[in-house]
Amino acid sequence: MAKSKQDRYEQIKRFEADLTKCMKCGFCTFWCPVYQEERIEPSVARGKNMMIRGLLAGELDYTKEYADRLNKCTLCMTCTANCPSKANIPNVIVAARADMVKARGLKFPYNIIYRWLLPRRTLFGRVIRFASWFQGIFLPKTEGTIRHLSMFLSALGKGRNIPQIAPRFLRQMVPVVNKPPGGVKATMTVGYFTGCMTDFVLPDLGKHVIDFLTRNGVEVIVPGEQGCCGAPVFLGAGDFDTGRKMADSNVKAFEGLDYVISDCATCTSALKDYPKFLADTPEREEAYAKFAGKILDISQFLVDVLKLPASAYKPSAQVKGKKITWHDPCHLSRHLGITSQPRQIIKSIPDIEYVEMPNADRCCGMAGSFSMYYYDLSKQIADKKVEAIKSTGADIVASSCPGCEIQLIDSLLRNKVPVKVMHIMELLE
């Protein structure tokens, strides 16, 4: 039996109010990072709004070209932040991706990666381990722990500088329960959502976060049952069914904890988005909403909950005497509204100079799978960020999203700009 229009566009209909809010004024054309490079109407929120309206009216269908235009969005929310009527077109784009997957399915190899690999953490780890062996043998080393994709692999990354997979994963380096050291009284217990990047690529960052928290009286629980936040699956690819399975696992893994801390802005935002996009039953709605209420970015936790004094923020050895600037990840600034807390932390660090970056909240062009599908476009967006970083004269650019950090490292190396990229927690002793 053929699906009704309501069923075919079930997710879009949930956010139809955002479609009607759009006044077609075109303010979004000035702000959209994709439109600023392409200068064509389907690149911007107003154009995508009209595309999706055409879908509902039966004038358009899910063609290859339609899918390409729908996916060519970083979900940075710059359009919404600067929209006079605050039309949240990114919400509708995610919903349209979900309806498109329902109608057309996921193509190979993404159906394997998203539905069978990412939700199975142990298997995913084994595949990552195999990839690290491949990376170590075939990819020539460049800066630090960065490896450059050689030309014969250009189809995968088109010459992108990518991080080296860690020899040991974070889960192999730390216990489930991490107590404060002797003499330090535990004042609270929190869960630590490690995400994929910190677990598999940046485990030293994870250890740094745990050590900092435990030294300041926080017992840290790292559940082995946790998995990927699901951002590339349900936000990027629109696979809500698999996203719900991943959400259910993560909610269960952190049961009984009052706070769940993340050092990745994308993970933090995705975890908080479970009730908005994935709650399909009253039970899930209640469970996801309760879980989302526990999720905090690490800087938000340190400033608003732990309320550490300025004296707690001592500089790590590699940042003393350095000039530091800050890049606002889109998921932290516009999705979550967290901008003052990381700046408060950095400005509290002695023996460093802080300099504000022009347009610090401008999208860097990473946006997860967007930068894989549209790497050339992603580079064009990132080059504007590089110019902003250069203008500060900073030695270090800090952020709190491993995805943004990868993009910044790649972009700075491509442009031969000698600025080090660090996570905000790496600035601290």
pTM check: above 0.85: yes
Q: What is the pLDDT of residue 134?
A: 64
Tell me the average pLDDT of the chain. Answer: 91
Reply yes or no on whether the pLDDT at 151 is more than 50: no
Rounded CA-CA distance 360/334 in Å is 12
Q: Sorting pLDDT into bands at 50, 70 and 90, what band is 154?
A: very low
∠ CA 62-365-349, rounded to 5°: 145
Reply yes or no on whether the pLDDT at 140 is more than 60: no
The residue among 134 and 361 whose pLDDT is bigger is 361
Q: What is the pLDDT of residue 7?
A: 77
How much is the average pLDDT of 250-256?
Answer: 97
Q: Do the first three CATH levels of 5-103 and 309-427 match, i.e. the same topology?
A: no
Token digits of residue 80:
């919404």
Q: What is the pLDDT of residue 160?
A: 73
Of the segments 4-18, 102-116, 190-204, which one has the largest average pLDDT value? 190-204
Q: What is the pLDDT of residue 157?
A: 52
Percent of the chain surpassing pLDDT 90: 79
Range of weakest confidence among 96-105, 118-127, 361-370, 374-383:
118-127
* Boundaries of every domain in the chain: 5-103, 106-308, 309-427
Per-residue pLDDT tens for 374-397? Answer: 999 999 999 999 999 999 999 999
Which CATH fold would you assign to the domain 5-103?
A: Fumarate Reductase Iron-sulfur Protein; Chain B, domain 2 (1.10.1060)
Q: What is the pLDDT of residue 407?
A: 93
Reply yes or no on whether the pLDDT at 265 is more than 80: yes
Q: What is the pLDDT of residue 302?
A: 98
How much is the average pLDDT of 246-271?
Answer: 97
Q: Sorting pLDDT into bands at 50, 70 and 90, what band is 167?
A: confident
- Check residue 375 and give left, alpha or beta (phi > 0: left; psi -120 to 50: alpha): alpha
Reply yes or no on whether the pLDDT at 146 is more than 60: no
Question: Residues with Cβ < 8 Å from 312, sequence gap 6 or more?
Answer: 216
Reply yes or no on whether the pLDDT at 300 is more than 50: yes
Percent of the chain surpassing pLDDT 70: 92
CATH of domain 309-427: 3.40.50.1860
